[in-house]
Amino acid sequence: MGIRAWSIFVLVALSFWGNSQALTKNTLLSRIRRAPEASGETRKCSYTFLVPEQKITGPICAARGQVPDKDRVTRLDVAAVRDLLSKQRREMETLKLVVDVDGNMVNEMKLLRKESRNMNSRVTQLYMQLLHEIIRKRDNSLELAQLETRVLNATTESLRLASRYRELEAKYAALSAIVNNQSVVIGMLEERCMQVYSQRYEQPPVGPPLVQVVPENIPVHVPRFTNEIQRDNTRGFARDRGSRSGPSPTTGSLEVQKPPQSNFSAEGPFRDCLAAQDAGHATSGMYLIKPDESERPLQVWCEQGIDGGGWTVIQTRRDGSVNFFRNWENYKSGFGNVDGEYWLGLEGIYKLGRQGDYKLLVELEDWMNKKVYAQYSSFHLEPESEGFRLRLGTYQGNAGDSLSSHNGKQFTTLDRDKDAFIGNCAHFHKGGWWYNACGQSNLNGVWYAGGVYRSKFQDGIFWADYGGGFYSMKGVRVLIRPID
């Protein structure tokens, strides 16, 4: 039975009980009032008040003796009223119990509804979590599929690169065989030339005199003698320079390459590296310079970290990655990589020196990572018509003076012999330099790994007063800067 039905039932019972009580009280009062009137006698009444749970207003008279009138209230009437009241009381108690039970049921229903709502919320939450988990697993499946695709692509690419690498290895082996054959042929041609020369001049040609200087500073703890060149797998042409007579001159020139952004300034061009420093560029790196008489800008490495900065690097040797056995045009225009090994070019060096008074710094590094230097108070070159003749000032430093003997000499390459020797010093020393006959330094020679090397001629990167003629330097830099 619902709550509304029970409420209607309670209201009807209360209404019924109220009507019956009022009817009973009216009947009793009418009988009491009619009793004296009917008898016509004056009687004394004793009043008995019944106080049941229901309130009864007015007295109830019980006459003594026999009551001849049937309308008089008797004890049986009072007992009947009491029985009726007791019955109504029991019904009221029953109704109260029913109401209490119904109230408990209503509370339980409310609790059940609240729990039902909580359960619905929890079920909804679990459903959303399940939905999200399904979506996440689907996304993970898609990501896994994409990852598998990328792995397959990377595997395919690695296999392709491995195949390409094997092809390049085969080509490199073929080129190495060709180079070895060429070395043999060159050796045979040299022997043939010597025979022809001896038949024509009745004496064999001789190489330049070896450097006999015993340097004061000899690098110690040389690990081994070597005539091998340190090679990089990505720079295979360096292998060519380990041959007996050296590789043939190349014809490439200095090309402006796109440098790393961290070491390159897009500003300029400047007059020289000191002008770049005066403009606020205090970081060493690649800059564009344009000497006064130059038609096009040059890309150079500016060294701002030593001796006050402002140094323009005109030559760098560090790893044997660039072939320095080149012809006149190459040495005139320049070659190599500005952020690696390079030669600025005789024409550019000449026009730089024409702008004012410059000084020269030669920085040497041996295979014990020790650095020494030789500095000259003045430096410039004469024009090409004079063979870019070298002009130097006085020496100071701790490397020894191995360049003053070249002062006043013209530049010599394999195809333009300007030295004082009967032969060509560039042929024997495998580079271009201001040779005398042939001289005490060869900073553009062959880059040999390890320092001390074996060769028929002194063709390494040597500085006679530091290490002698058979010790090849690990690193060299030649720099110029305006005189303060």
Please write the tens of the pLDDT for every residue from 201-229: 555 556 676 665 545 555 654 443 344 33
Q: Using CA atoms, how far apart are residues 210 and 409, in angstroms rounded to an integer?
A: 19
CA angle 280, 281, 282 (to 5 degrees): 105
Q: Using CA atoms, how far apart are residues 271 and 281, in angstroms rounded to an integer?
A: 13
More confident residue, 336 or 54: 336
Please write the tens of the pLDDT for every residue from 116-138: 888 888 888 898 989 988 998 88
More confident residue, 46 or 107: 107
**Domain segments of the chain as ranges:** 86-188, 271-480
Share of the chain above pLDDT 90, in %: 36
Q: For residue 446, with 0-12 CB atoms within 10 Å meaning exposed, 13-18 middle and 19 or more buried, which class applies? A: buried
pLDDT at residue 160 greater than cutoff 80: yes
pLDDT at 35: 46
Choose which CATH entry (3.40.50.720, 3.60.21.10, 3.90.215.10, 3.40.718.10) describes domain 271-480.
3.90.215.10
Q: What is the pTM of this model?
A: 0.55
Distance of CA 244 to the CA centre of its chain: 47
Per-residue tokens: 170: 């085969």
pLDDT at residue 250 greater than cutoff 50: no
What is the pLDDT of the chain when averaged over all its residues?
78
Which helix (H) or strand (E) element contains residue 305?
Answer: none
